Structure 1
Amino acid sequence: MTKTNWQKEVKEKWNENATFWNSKSQEMWENGSRQSIIPFLKKYVEPGAKILDLGCGDGYGSYKLWIEGYDVTGVDLSEEMIRFCQKRVTDDMKHLHFQQADMLDLPFDDHTFDTLMAINALEWAEVPIDAFNEVTRVVKPGGTLCVGILGPTAAPRVNSYNRLYGKDVIMNTMMPWEFQKLAEENTLKIVDCEKVYKRGVNLKHVGSLPEDLKQSLTFMTLFMLKK
């Protein structure tokens, strides 16, 4: 599959799924698998920081960042997602913006943002290092990147299942430990990581496990990186 076709099919998929995602996103951010993301980010990013929310979906996460006092630009490949985003914006929201954009070719100058947030976004690139280099480009030196990578127990990983049949897929099954190695090999410092576990995991038992086994049980691993 060419990169052009990969990106085209990703866009089509999320255009088709936009209404379904919009019906679920608030619950995910408030009570579900994404509820710990913004508290994690707030530990390292001061209010007023200029944040790029990459793969912002319907914009609920961007909206929550804005409520916390950040200057937020949300981007998504899907035009349908951006339509949902725009419905969140009123005339008095001066620091919340949305636009359609491809993470492989972002329409921003070098070093535009203080912080990047990318939750389950980089996995949708055919060659994740290409997306990684592009998103890093727009972050200021000394800036931070909050990245969420799906773990082995995450149901959305089924999007890559058909590769076992030799069929084309449009999700790259990057593991948390693979992303960690990618970041370290490309001059980013890992400041912190937080693991989000699937319901049913007993945290008392997890605490005694080595790092690789902890990651093996995750629904998502959150990384805070410094450029």
Structure 2
Amino acid sequence: MRSSIEIVKKLYSEEPAIRDMEDYTNKKLKIWETEVVSHFPIKSQILDIGCGMGREAFCLYDRGFRITAIDISEKVIEPAKKIALESKRDIEFLLTNGLDLPFESNTFDVVIIWSQTFGLLYDEDNKIHILKECSRVLKSNGIISFSGHDKKFLKAKCPQYLNENKFFPYANTDCYWEAFTTNEIIDLAQKAGFSIIECKRGIVYKEEDGSILHCVCRKGAE
């Protein structure tokens, strides 16, 4: 995983990916994200893994949640910190390695791994590892929400960018986003010990944007 972290970090420190994130920073929550938020307890302490430039963190903060946000790329964390400071949003943005969470156990009410972040944790062992790390930092009965690209949709709409389960959104890079089926996502969550609340396809901003797969799970009581 360490070598793939460097591949991912490199991509998200370069102009094309940064420009795409800048375009999204001021957007509202996606339709499926808004639906998922209904599962979060009021004023939850939320950990946002793979926060990018902070779109989700800012939107959730504005809804009354307390946010800690992490990413592996300094090139996106620093602008997010600046926006938070200028807009007087009390959000903690931290630079991490993307796999091991630097937090005490039983710290958060909710963990989110949204956008393409989960699909950047290559290989099953790494996905289960981060899900178990999320379970560790979640409080008893805490909630995790994570998402992935819809393999069925990508096969139908843009097969030229899909190699088996690997979706290559940028040219001339070894970095890809893994794509999933609903059953694959459920299987990973259950292997990490979570109970499934829901796992389904969701709409981004409008139907023509395509679908995303997302899973909401609960940590068991300890």
| Fold match by TM threshold 0.5 | yes
The aligned residue for residue 198 of structure 2 is 192
- For the Cα contact (< 8 Å) 2:148–2:178, is it kept in 1? no
Superposition deviation, residue 115 in structure 1: 0.2
Q: Percent same amino acid among aligned pairs?
A: 22
Superposition deviation, residue 23 in structure 1: 3.0
Distance 1:170 1:22 in 2: 16
Residue 98 of structure 2 is aligned to residue 103 of structure 1: yes
- For the Cα contact (< 8 Å) 2:72–2:97, is it kept in 1? yes
**AA aligned opposite 1:177:** N
The aligned residue for residue 63 of structure 2 is 68
User: C-alpha root-mean-square deviation of aligned residues, in Å?
Assistant: 2.8
Aligned residues: 201
Provide, for residues 23-66 of structure 1, a one-character-per-residue CA deviation record: whole Å limited to 9, x for no partner.
Answer: 32147x43xxx512442233111231100011111101100000
Gaps of 5+ in 1: 202-217
The aligned residue for residue 45 of structure 2 is 50
The aligned residue for residue 118 of structure 1 is 113
The aligned residue for residue 6 of structure 1 is 4
**AA aligned opposite 1:44:** H
Identify if the C-alpha distance between structure 1 residues 132 and 200 changes in structure 2 by more than 3 Å, giving closer, same or farther. same
The aligned residue for residue 211 of structure 1 is none
Superposition deviation, residue 101 in structure 1: 1.2
Identify if the C-alpha distance between structure 1 residues 94 and 181 changes in structure 2 by more than 3 Å, giving closer, same or farther. same
- For the Cα contact (< 8 Å) 1:73–1:96, is it kept in 2? yes
- For the Cα contact (< 8 Å) 2:9–2:73, is it kept in 1? yes
**AA aligned opposite 1:73:** T
Map of 1:1-227 to 2, 5 A cutoff? Answer: 3-16=1-14, 17-26=16-25, 29-30=27-28, 35-90=30-85, 93=88, 95-119=90-114, 120-126=116-122, 127-152=126-151, 153-154=153-154, 158=162, 160=166, 171-197=177-203, 199-200=207-208, 219-227=211-219
Superposition deviation, residue 178 in structure 1: 0.5
State the secondary structure of the residue aligned to 2:184.
Answer: helix
State the secondary structure of the residue aligned to 2:21.
Answer: helix
The aligned residue for residue 215 of structure 1 is none
- TM-score (norm. length: structure 1): 0.77
**AA aligned opposite 1:225:** C
Distance 2:20 2:130 in 1: 23
Identify if the C-alpha distance between structure 1 residues 20 and 91 changes in structure 2 by more than 3 Å, giving closer, same or farther. closer
Distance 1:97 1:11 in 2: 20
Distance 1:25 1:84 in 2: 13
Provide, for residues 159-216 of structure 1, a one-character-per-residue CA deviation record: whole Å limited to 9, x for no partner.
Answer: 9357xxxx96554344332111111233211112342247349xxxxxxxxxxxxxxx
Gaps of 5+ in 2: none
State the secondary structure of the residue aligned to 2:178.
Answer: coil
State the secondary structure of the residue aligned to 1:109.
Answer: coil
- TM-score (norm. length: structure 2): 0.78
State which drifts further: 71-80 or 18-27: 18-27
> Structure 1 stretches (4+) deviating beyond 6 angstroms?
none
